[in-house]
Chain A
Amino acid sequence: MTDTTTEMDGNVAELRNTVRDPKGQGDPKSYRISKDGETTRHEDAAWADKDLKMYTRDVHVHYGDNHAIKGVSVDVRPNEVLALMGPSGCGKSTFLRCLNRMNDPVPNARIDGTIALEGENIYDKDYDVVMVRLRIGMVAQAPNPFPKSIYENIAFGPRLHGLTDGKEELDEVVENSLRRAGLWEEVKDQLHQPGTNLSGGQQQRLCIARAIANEPEVILMDEPCSSLDPVSTNTIEELIMELKKSFTVVIVTHDMQQAERVSDRVAYFHLGDLVEVGPTNAVIRDAQDQRTKEYVSGHIG
């Protein structure tokens, strides 16, 4: 993993300059203290000066009068799997949806703070939301393939954005995406069958393949295994481990074992607060905050 990141050394200064940060809280370094405000941050020396894929600063989300996210600041590093963890209703999914502006269409939702992708504020007025979602793909909680053929499902993104020239290139992208999602061998003979005919686990991998076809930089996953059986879950988890070789993954899960299996770092949410963040082992084995401890030991479910 280290080899993919060394080349980005020294980019922090540039990052600081390109951030269009309305609230002037642009210095990412100041957030790498062990404890700031209410968030316990585990020191992670190996990453101290590495570049960030995404970072968020003091994000607040209101749904009408409901203060769903209360000032969350967390970094996402390149080619890592970051797990957002916490009990249901803690705001982890809400936060995830903020990362690619999926909360935009929600009526009376208000998002404050900074969310930046490679130093660019994705909530900037000039930042087209299509670009955001193209660069930050997403896989939903329940598989949601379009009621079209498997081929059409994968080709949806490339066609939409004009990413390919001609049928052959498109075929190539479809095959490639399916291969990378580990689905090619299973479906190569039924590419023109409806995607909705596949099993739940296959549908979810189809959705991952669909996201890959857009060549995003980050893939967000919202409890991708919650509706799947253990075997399919296992397949998806293995897939996530593969995916991080080429993508950055942010995954929401309430399953601690899953977080332990797939993630490099964990951010623990509680009632809209980011409570504790750090390397997976550190957070789960050595939780500092009382709330994290209780969750990890199974007292909060």
Chain B
Amino acid sequence: MTDATAQGSAPGGRRIDSDAFRSRLATRRRKGAILKYSGLIAICIALAILGTLLFSIVSQGWQGFLRTNVELEITYNEEIIGGDAEDIPSGAFQEIARNGLQKALGLPPEAEDYDPSDLNALISSGVRYDLQQAVRDEPELIGRTAQLSVPVSSTMDMAYKGKLNLDVDEGRRQLSNQQLEWFNQLQDDGRLHSEFYWGLFSNSDSRSPELAGLWAGIVGSFVMIGIVAAFAFPIAVAAAVYLEEFAPKNRWTELVEVNINNLAAVPSIIFGLLGLAVFLNTLGFPRSSPLAGGAVLVLMTLPIIIIAARSALRSVPPSYRDGALMLGASRNQAVMKTVLPTALPGMLTGTIIGLAQALGETAPLLLIGMQAFVAAPPEGINDTATAIPVQIYLWANAPERGFAEKTQAAIMVLLMFLLIMNATAIILRNRFQKRA
């Protein structure tokens, strides 16, 4: 304790009474305020980005849920379509639809000063198939006249939604002068209406934006999510329980741990390479099938769920375990009867978040062939399929203008599914936390 004799003459002395110290203190306070406000600004920027992102999606995408229809008086003219309802070429229905348009526009039945295909291009190419199907379902329609509301073509749709610049020269416009005149006439007559486009959910992909929908993608995505849930959840829980409760601490388990943590951060496209080389080329899984996609997503989601499940297990108080062991339960019984049920909600939360991530995954699916155009939902796990995010990617790259709003609308649908899943996870977590 002799050290303490060197006391007293601290060079700092009473320097803290000086003005220099006070001004220094003011500077220090200012620096603190700068830090605080930079933090606040940073988080405001982050939220502004979120806002901009959502705003750009909604503002560009809300019209994707709408489709423009035109009111036409359609006469199922027997002369054109003949008598046999089963065997009518769709071209005949195109003529019927055109006649309806001519009537609506007050044009003579025989085209003289215009190209009939210009007229055909006003309404959706899907109309003739709809009419064909209607006659097939109901042959007595032949010869009758009906008021119908049929979808217009994508260009007309864009024009009606105000997304085409109609004030430019004819050469730079997608509608000819003639067509523009017809468009204006139809609009002035009040024959054009916007309707909610249910086809976005019930139709599958199409080359025509006004007919394209997400049904095939929705089915494909949820078949794959089902595969992921069925395989990844039990395997991940088993792996997590083993690693957390039973595994000895040795080099091997350490390797497994590093592995799992690394896998959770491996770029998703690498999993695509794995799927291509192993599942498609070696094991012969069918290309673009939900089976192959699901298998890749299972491997991708596994580490995420394992990590979440382990942290759920770790948050179970050791006293639960010890209590069961003290009552003579085996290690297995203690885990199965006390630890696992307590950790289960946490594991489920992690699983749902993992599934939500899998639902949004795109890159690996492209590599196993899902960039292909698929116009029907898969009929089995070996069938060709697509997924919602893949659909978004394809539509974003499609040259037709009408796909731009469809892309954003599809994003809204995808985000809605994710929102539902995440909300479920949060509700689960909150209930769990309240009980614990």
The verdict on B7 contacting chain A, using a C-beta distance below 8 Å, is: yes
Chain A residues with Cβ under 8 A from B25's Cβ?
A: 128, 130-131
Assuming A131-B16, A134-B16, A162-B24, is B6 touching A179 (CB within 8 A)?
Answer: yes
Interface residues of B in 408-434 (CB under 8 A from A): none
Total A-B pairs, Cβ < 8 A: 60
Within 8 Å CB of B16, what residues of A?
A: 131, 134-135, 161, 163
Contact B15 A246 (CB under 8 A): no
Check B168 for interface membership: any CB of A closer than 8 A.
Answer: no
Known pairs A130-B28, A161-B16; A184 contacts B3 (CB<8 A): yes
A172 to chain B, nearest CB (A): 6
> Which of chain B's residues has its CB closest to A163's CB?
B12
Complexed CA–CA distance, A163 and B25 (Å): 12
Q: Nearest Cβ in chain B — how far from A126, in angstroms?
A: 12
Contacts of A160 in B (CB 8 A): 28
* B4 cross-chain contacts in A, Cβ below 8 A: 179-180, 182, 239, 242-243, 245
Q: Are A182 and B12 in contact (CB under 8 A)?
A: no
Interface residues of A, CB < 8 Å — how many? 32
- Nearest opposing residue in chain B for A245, CB measure: B7
Q: Does B1 contact A (CB under 8 A)?
A: yes
Residues of A within 8 A of B12 (CB): 158, 161, 163-164, 173, 214-215
* Chain A stretch 169-184: residues in CB contact (< 8 A) with chain B: 169, 172-173, 176, 178-184
When C-beta atoms are compared, the residue in chain A nearest to B17 turns out to be: A131
Question: What's the nearest-Cβ distance from chain A to residue B23, in Å?
Answer: 10
Chain B residue total in the interface (Cβ 8 A)? 17
The digit string for A110-136, where 1 denotes a CB below 8 A from any CB of B, is 000000000000000000101100110
Q: Are A176 and B6 also in contact (CB < 8 A) when A215-B12, A238-B1, A242-B1 are?
A: yes
Q: Which residues of B contact A178 (CB under 8 A)?
A: 3
Q: Closest chain A residue to B11 by CB distance?
A: A169
Q: Does B328 contact A (CB under 8 A)?
A: no
Q: Which residues of A contact B108 (CB under 8 A)?
A: none
Residues of A within 8 A of B20 (CB): 162
Contact A176 B1 (CB under 8 A): no
**In the assembled complex, how far is the CB of residue B5 from the closest CB belonging to chain A, in whole angstroms?**
8
> Which chain B residue lies CB-closest to A168?
B11
The B-contacting residues of A in range 210-226, CB under 8 angstroms, are 214-215
Docked complex: B1-53 residues within 8 A CB-CB of A: 1, 3-4, 6-8, 10-13, 15-16, 20-21, 24-25, 28
Q: Is A14 an interface residue, CB under 8 A from the partner?
A: no
Q: In the complex the two chains form, what is the Cα distance from A134 to B15 in whole Å? A: 11
Establish whether residues A246 and B24, one from each chain, have CB atoms under 8 Å apart when the complex forms.
no
In the complex, what residue of chain B is closest to A235 when comparing beta carbons?
A: B1
Given contacts A130-B28, A242-B1, contact A180 B6 (CB under 8 A): yes
28 contacts between A and B (CB under 8 A): A130-B25, A130-B28, A131-B25, A158-B12, A161-B16, A161-B21, A162-B21, A163-B12, A163-B15, A163-B16, A164-B11, A164-B12, A173-B12, A176-B6, A179-B6, A180-B6, A182-B4, A184-B3, A185-B3, A214-B12, A215-B10, A215-B12, A215-B13, A239-B4, A243-B4, A245-B4, A245-B7, A246-B8
The 10 closest A-B pairs by CB, nearest first: A163-B12, A179-B3, A242-B4, A215-B10, A246-B7, A180-B4, A182-B3, A179-B6, A215-B12, A242-B1
